[in-house]
Amino acid sequence: MNIRHLAICACLLAAAPAIANDAPPTEESIQQLLTLSNARELLDQIKLQMETTMTAAMRDAQQGQTLTPERQAVLDRMRTKMTAVVNQMLNWDVLQPIYVRTYKASLTQNELDGIINFYQSSAGQAYIKKMPLIMQNVMGEMQGLIKTMQQKLVEIRKETAHELKDLNAQGGS
């Protein structure tokens, strides 16, 4: 074998680990990550938090008014329908293939192995265990921001409607 062949073989052998690191993750390793990270349980908690947020938003929209039984029944049906849509769309059977496709397209096997190693560590387990509380606290903080944002958006909509009404009154287009 000449020196050229040896050099090519050496380059290929040296590049093999880099090529292996760039391989897409296996579905098995993605499933392992989803299991370790309690992705399914986190999804259930997110849905519960969304239901709580919807209920609070409906209560806030009532502005302390007492509703007739008929109006309350209409709102109850709306909440039931909205909850059904959330449960249908945020269903594990729907989302799991999305997770697999996204992780496969976004991460290498080497990166996923590192993430799995983290989740298997005591710090990773603490992170997983505390994630529901973290999400609950973030959602609680965001509710205040969202309420303020919605109020500002309503004000902008009212101002715009008033401007358009003034233009129509002036005969403008």
Residues 6+ apart with CB under 8 A from 36: 116, 119, 120, 124, 128
Tell me the pLDDT tens digit for each residue of 70-102: 988 988 899 999 999 999 999 999 999 999 999
* Cα-based torsion angle of the residue sequence 32, 38, 42, 44 in order, rounded to the nearest 10 degrees: 90
Q: What percent helix, strand, coil does the chain show, rounded to 5?
A: 85, 0, 15
**Cβ-based neighbour number of residue 10 at 10 Å:** 10
Query: Residue 108 has what pLDDT?
Result: 97
